[in-house]
């Protein structure tokens, strides 16, 4: 994804993943880092901007989902003469609209990230946010290590949910509402969520926290925030919440160790991608088993 004083050195993970560099020297160009003429206020100011970016990403999700679903709610009200919000929770069209609204939300959020990181095109975006290979590393080995770690996390998650089970989550109900909802969920989870979430949490927010409050605080805060924002989706299943928390901690530790966002993105992408394939194909697999 030591004292509480800001540090430019990264804390190694307890076990070094194969293929990742032995040492890390973070020379990333960070527009949110203090300039030679700025003082400590600049670091705290950029932390405030990172926090506002996180808040804005949540508000955007709510607002865009309302914009997408409101016309349908009005249509239901006009055609039926009543609006049963509880019944709409199982409405296939309403569920699909909620899911597809996530994609434009992520696009808008990416635009906000770009504006914050580049400060109006003053800095190169990808390098500034740390979306690069770790220093002195071989990309092929980094990819192998990240894919292996993602598969291990999926295996642990599958074991946990199989062993302890739990009720269906809010996301499960949305996904199972229709085939269209399944494919929309798979698309968002694979092609937009890993990139936008890593840039917010392990890119902008983690860097700002590390430079003001230190590495340990940055790891704890980012890990808890990322896991916490998913609690609503999985609130009916403690096993799944545990899996998401483990994923969050792992992604943030990898970010802290490598000093870059790209390895965390690869892990997140593979983790979500494999799950998305299962989500999209599960109805057909169940049908073939009967």
Query: What is the C-alpha to C-alpha distance for residues 24 and 276, in angstroms, rounded to an integer?
Result: 33
Query: What is the C-alpha to C-alpha distance for residues 273 and 279, in angstroms, rounded to an integer?
Result: 10
Say which residue, 75 or 167, is predicted with more confidence.
75
Place of tokens 């966002």: 261
pLDDT in tens, 10-42: 434 334 344 444 444 454 444 544 444 456 788
**Range of lowest pLDDT (23-32, 63-72, 141-150, 278-287):** 23-32
Task: Give the mean pLDDT of 71-89.
Answer: 78
pLDDT, position 144? 97
In this predicted structure, the answer to whether residue 290 has a pLDDT above a threshold of 50 is: no
Say which residue, 127 or 86, is predicted with more confidence.
127
Query: What is the C-alpha to C-alpha distance for residues 18 and 145, in angstroms, rounded to an integer?
Result: 6
Where would I find the H helices in 34-138? Answer: 40-80, 85-88, 92-100, 102-118, 125-129
Query: What is the C-alpha to C-alpha distance for residues 245 and 211, in angstroms, rounded to an integer?
Result: 24
Enter the pTM of the model.
0.83
Give the chain's length. Answer: 290
**Range of lowest pLDDT (15-24, 59-68, 238-247):** 15-24
Q: How confident is the model at residue 219 (pLDDT cuts 50, 70, 90)?
A: very high
Dihedral through CA 72, CA 74, CA 77, CA 83, nearest 10? 70
What's the whole-number average pLDDT of the chain? 84
Task: Give the mean pLDDT of 171-195.
Answer: 91
Query: Within 10 Å of residue 56's Cβ, how many Cβ atoms?
Result: 17
């Amino acid at each position: 994804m030591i004292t509480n004083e800001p540090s430019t050195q990264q804390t190694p993970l307890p076990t070094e993943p194969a293929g990742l560099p032995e040492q890390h020297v973070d020379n990333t160009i960070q527009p949110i880092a203090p300039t030679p003429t700025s003082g400590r206020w600049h670091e705290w100011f950029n932390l405030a901007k990172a926090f506002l970016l996180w808040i804005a990403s949540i508000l955007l999700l709510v607002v865009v989902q309302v914009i997408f679903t409101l016309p349908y709610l009005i249509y239901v009200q006009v055609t039926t003469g009543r609006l049963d919000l509880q019944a709409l929770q199982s409405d296939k069209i309403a569920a699909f609209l909620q899911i597809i609204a996530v994609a434009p939300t992520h696009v808008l959020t990416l635009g906000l990230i770009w504006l914050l990181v580049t400060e109006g095109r003053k800095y190169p975006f990808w390098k500034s946010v740390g979306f690069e290979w770790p220093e002195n590393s071989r990309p092929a080995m980094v990819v192998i290590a990240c894919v292996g770690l993602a598969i291990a996390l999926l295996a642990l998650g599958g074991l946990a949910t199989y062993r302890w089970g739990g009720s269906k989550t809010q996301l499960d109900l949305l996904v199972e509402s229709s085939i269209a909802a399944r494919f929309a969920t798979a698309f968002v989870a694979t092609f937009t969520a890993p990139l936008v979430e890593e840039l917010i949490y392990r890119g902008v927010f983690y860097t700002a926290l590390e430079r003001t409050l230190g590495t340990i605080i940055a790891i704890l805060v980012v890990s808890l925030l990322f896991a916490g924002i998913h609690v609503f989706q999985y609130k009916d299943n403690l096993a799944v919440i545990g899996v998401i928390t483990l994923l969050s901690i792992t992604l943030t530790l990898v970010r802290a160790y490598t000093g870059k966002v790209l390895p965390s993105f690869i892990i997140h992408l593979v983790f979500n991608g494999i799950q998305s394939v299962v989500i999209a194909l599960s109805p057909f697999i169940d049908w073939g088993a009967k």
